[in-house]
């Protein structure tokens, strides 16, 4: 009996030990462990720099000078000559600029005396032929041109007197103000635009006694323009050796100064008022 009790005690101890081990294992399995550490992120590789070529900015050329701009710079030059002051520095910036100048002619109808007209037109109703013509003025022989030109050496000076330089209008006037195409008296000619030819310049570039003239045929029923025509001068301002586009000289304090715009003519055309397509052109 005593031996049986001893065996029972041993078995109970073994069962209790086994139960304790199982409980310890369960508690250990359930115990929270350390928080898992996130893996260090790999460093991101910087994007390669791409050199984008810069598109060059091409400056837009200024628009051509028109009649108003030419008259404005000429007025400033005349004022400087009359007052004995210097030309404004801004005027020098116009040298090299292009220009488009229109001047009306044939305002009073057909040309009647070619010898006294610098420009005009005649029309033959039978043949429908319209003849337009304009001739340059030779300024080289004028006694005031040499002092006005200053240090510029020239062999010829050809150009046009700008008619009615007191107005910006480039079309024929209306009514009693209609202008004549007769060459104004020498004392009335105040502003010209002309090309100075050096002694070395090719002579074929000069007009000389050759007028700008052409004959075109009008369609049946078409009549000459009642508003006359226009001569269009295109080119660039060349200026004088001192860098000024206009020179003026005043020989009589009671008279307005006489001025010349130094230019190079690149295109001459005859235009019908209100139209841009030339009737005829020379380049």
Q: Which of 102, 141, 107, 117 is nearest to 213 (CA)?
A: 117
Cβ contacts of residue 282 below 8 Å, gap of 6+?
Answer: 212, 267, 268, 269
Residues 86-98 as b or e (16 or more Cβ within 10 Å = b): ebeeebeebbebb
pLDDT confidence of residue 61: 87
> Residue 173 has what pLDDT?
83
Per-residue confidence (pLDDT) for residue 28, from 0 to 100: 40
Please tell me the distance from the alpha carbon of residue 114 to that of residue 109, in angstroms, as a whole number.
Answer: 13
Domain boundaries, the chain: 67-281
**What's the chain's length in residues?**
283
> Would you state the pLDDT for residue 11?
44
Rounded to 5 degrees, what are φ and ψ at 91?
-65, -35
Strand partners, 261: 193, 246
pLDDT of residue 125: 95
Helices and strands (H, E) in the chain, number of each type: 3, 11
Residue 265's pLDDT is what? Answer: 98
Let me know the angle formed at the C-alpha of 138 by 132 and 208, rounded to the nearest 5 degrees: 65
Tens of pLDDT along 177-217? 455 566 555 557 899 999 999 999 999 999 999 999 999 99
Contact assessment for residue 247 and residue 77, using Cβ atoms and an 8 Å cutoff: yes
Q: What is the DSSP annotation of 10-72?
A: HHHHHHHHHHHHHHHHHHHHHS--PPPPPPPPPPPPPPPP--PPPPP-PPPPPPPB-HHHHHH
pLDDT at 35 (0 to 100): 56
Would you say 73 and 226 are in contact if contact means Cβ atoms under 8 Å apart?
no
Q: Which of 60, 91, 61 is nearest to 74 (CA)?
A: 91
pLDDT confidence of residue 38: 56
41-68: per-residue pLDDT in tens?
556 677 777 787 888 888 888 999 999 9
Give 10-residue mean pLDDT values along the chain (283 residues): 48 47 43 54 69 82 96 96 91 96 93 80 96 96 93 96 93 64 65 96 92 96 94 98 96 92 98 94 96
The confidence score (pLDDT) of residue 257 equals 95
For residue 61, give every residue at least 6 positions away whose Cβ sits within 8 Å of its Cβ, in sequence order, or none.
98
Predicted pLDDT of residue 36: 56
What pairs with residue 193 in β-bridges? 160, 261
pLDDT at 147: 94
Instruction: Say how many C-beta atoms besides its own lie within 10 A of residue 128's C-beta.
Output: 15
Residue with tokens 């001192």: 242
Q: State the pLDDT at residue 9.
A: 54
Per 3-state DSSP, the chain is made up of helix, strand and coil in percentages (nearest 5) of 25, 25, 50
Query: Cα separation of 156 and 140, whole Å?
Result: 5
CB 105 within 8 A of CB 183: no
Closest residue by Cα to residue 261 from 204, 206, 209, 190: 190
The pLDDT of residue 10: 46
pLDDT at 182: 60
């Amino acid at each position: 009996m005593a031996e049986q009790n001893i065996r029972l005690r041993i078995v109970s101890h073994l069962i209790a030990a086994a139960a304790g081990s199982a409980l310890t294992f369960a508690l250990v399995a359930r115990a929270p462990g350390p928080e898992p550490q996130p893996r260090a992120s790999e460093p991101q590789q910087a994007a390669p720099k791409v050199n984008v070529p810069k598109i060059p900015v091409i400056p837009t050329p200024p628009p051509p000078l028109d009649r108003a701009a030419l008259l404005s710079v000429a007025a400033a030059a005349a004022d400087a000559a009359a007052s004995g002051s210097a030309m404004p520095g801004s005027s020098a910036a116009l040298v090299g600029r292009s220009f488009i100048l229109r001047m009306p002619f044939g305002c009073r109808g057909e040309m009647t005396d070619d010898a006294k007209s610098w420009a005009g037109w005649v029309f033959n109703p039978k043949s429908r032929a319209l003849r337009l013509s304009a001739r340059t003025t030779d300024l080289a022989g004028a006694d005031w041109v040499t002092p006005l030109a200053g240090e510029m050496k020239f062999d010829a000076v050809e150009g046009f007197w700008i008619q009615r330089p007191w107005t910006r209008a480039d079309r024929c006037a209306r009514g009693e103000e209609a202008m004549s195409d007769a060459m104004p008296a020498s004392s009335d000619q105040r502003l010209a635009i002309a090309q100075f030819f050096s002694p070395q310049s090719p002579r074929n570039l000069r007009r000389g006694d050759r007028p700008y003239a052409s004959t075109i045929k009008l369609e049946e029923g078409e009549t000459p323009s009642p508003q006359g025509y226009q001569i269009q001068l295109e080119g660039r301002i060349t200026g004088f050796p001192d860098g000024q586009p206009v020179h003026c000289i005043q020989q009589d304090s009671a008279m307005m100064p006489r001025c010349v715009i130094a230019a190079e003519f690149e295109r001459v055309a005859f235009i019908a008022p209100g139209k841009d397509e030339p009737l005829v052109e020379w380049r």
